[in-house]
Chains A and B, each alone.
Chain A
Amino acid sequence: MKKNEDSHSDPAWNLAELLERVDNDQELLRDLLNIFKEDFPLTMRSLETAVAAEDLQNSARLGHTLKGMLSSLGGVRTAAAAARLEAIASAGETASLKGALDALKCEAASLLPELEAYMAEVRH
């Protein structure tokens, strides 16, 4: 649980780290955000279905995919929430799965507006 507590001190979106990763390439950054905008909702929907069906294997796999996607994009806290969900599903803790999904959605709710705002800003 320590990791969970620590992650609250992280920003929802670490733009500085992402800019470093893309070598300040704004075009690449826009590309990544567009891919994310398309892939994230689809993966989330699949995850919700898997969690509702208590499908541990697919929940773990989709949690892993989201963790990778979010961490590449600098969505530190949301990535940590996805990692927790993956760990819970891998450990077979069906009872905790729904709570982990809610936590992930909660983190995503604070990340997505930041990304949208940035995209709107760079578009103009």
Chain B
Amino acid sequence: MKILIADDDALSRRLLEKTLERAGYEVTAVENGKQALEQLSKLEAPRLALLDWVMPELDGPGVCRAVRKRSEQTYVYMVLLTSKGTKEETVLGLESGADDYLTKPFNAEELRARLRVGERILLLEDRLVEARENMRFRATHDTLTSLLNRGAIMDLLARELHRSHREKKSTTILLGDVDHFKRVNDTYGHVVGDEVLIEIANRLLGSVRSYDFVGRYGGEEFLVVLNSCDPAFAPGRAEAIRKSISNSAIQTAKGSLSLTMSLGALMSSDWGLRPVEELLHEVDTALYKAKASGRDCLRMAQPTTRTEPATAPVLEPARLRR
């Protein structure tokens, strides 16, 4: 494990360095508080730090305060080394953000034991962060396909539409629906249906750029958001995405299945800034037209076709199309 030592006394620094190397730590040693803060701000910085109290440039408590002010970085376990012994000074040190303190001259065994406490705390923190990240992922992703779930992709779409409007760029929204998917479930069962959905999700992800978004919108409906997509290329890109489904059969436990996808698409540059729900209604109408035109095709939403008032019931036409 990496550890940072900050001490202006060369003798004490060397002693700490050797003691900690012997205990298996990967040691970085610096001679003042400013350098310590620089080291702790780096990527892959040490997460354990031994800081002398009195140092030039910035003292140990100063380093602790500066590190604790940051909220975006991982936790650093900091131990102050001090020859100060009064209760008031101990309180001051701990209130600056230090996790522990050790009186100089240190006892090697005690130092190692206290650092092991630090490692335990950091391990707990890692587990906590991991659990939080797992929860965040589960809250924003579809459990079957691991794509963004409906809520998450709607949020991202709303943000992206505002951004593209602000930057005078165009966002392309694609709504895809697997053709005759119900037949897959009815004929081969839901397990195979799930396999198909997972493969389709993978193909969609594989056919977009890393900064585009793909989400599961509903049962067999997928929403794809192509960020900053030049309107001249949008239909071509949408066609490529459609073909990624129909080009080759999907291998399942019950054999290979040839499936297609109908797509409705909309370029935000044609519509201006409108509520997400309204634009999705238009994409859904285009998807409905693709279904009505024989499926396995793409239809673009055209502003001139918009006749409903803004308060029209959302997504109703789609319910007719399967």
Contacts and interface: CB of A to CB of B under 8 A. Distances in A.
Interface of A: 20-23, 25, 28, 31-32, 35-36, 39, 61, 64-65, 67-69, 71-74, 83
14 contacts: A21-B19, A21-B105, A21-B106, A21-B107, A22-B108, A23-B19, A23-B22, A23-B108, A28-B15, A32-B14, A35-B14, A39-B9, A65-B8, A74-B105
B83 interface: yes
Interface string B56-86: 0000000000000000000000000001000
Contacts of A39: 9-11
Contacts of A73: 11
A21 B15 contact: yes
Interface string B13-30: 011001100100000000
Interface string B36-74: 000000000000000010100000000000000000000
A72 B108 contact: no
Contacts of A68: 9, 12, 52, 83, 104
Contact of A71 (B22, B54, B105): B105
Nearest to B13: A35
Interface in B83-131: 83, 104-108
Interface of B: 8-12, 14-15, 18-19, 22, 52, 54, 83, 104-108
Contacts of B12: 68-69, 72
A61 B54 contact: yes
Contacts of A25: 18, 22
A84 to B, nearest CB: 13
Given A22-B18, A39-B11, A68-B104, 7 more contacts: A20-B108, A21-B19, A21-B105, A64-B54, A69-B9, A73-B11, A83-B83
Nearest to A86: B83
Contact of B108 (A21, A32, A69): A21
Contact of B9 (A21, A28, A31, A65): A65
A94 to B, nearest CB: 21
Given A21-B105, A61-B54, A64-B83, A72 B10 contact: no
A28 B18 contact: yes
A67 B107 CA distance: 16
A12 to B, nearest CB: 16
A60 B137 CA distance: 55
Identify the 5 closest CB pairs spanning chains A and B, nearest first: A71-B105, A35-B11, A72-B12, A72-B105, A28-B18
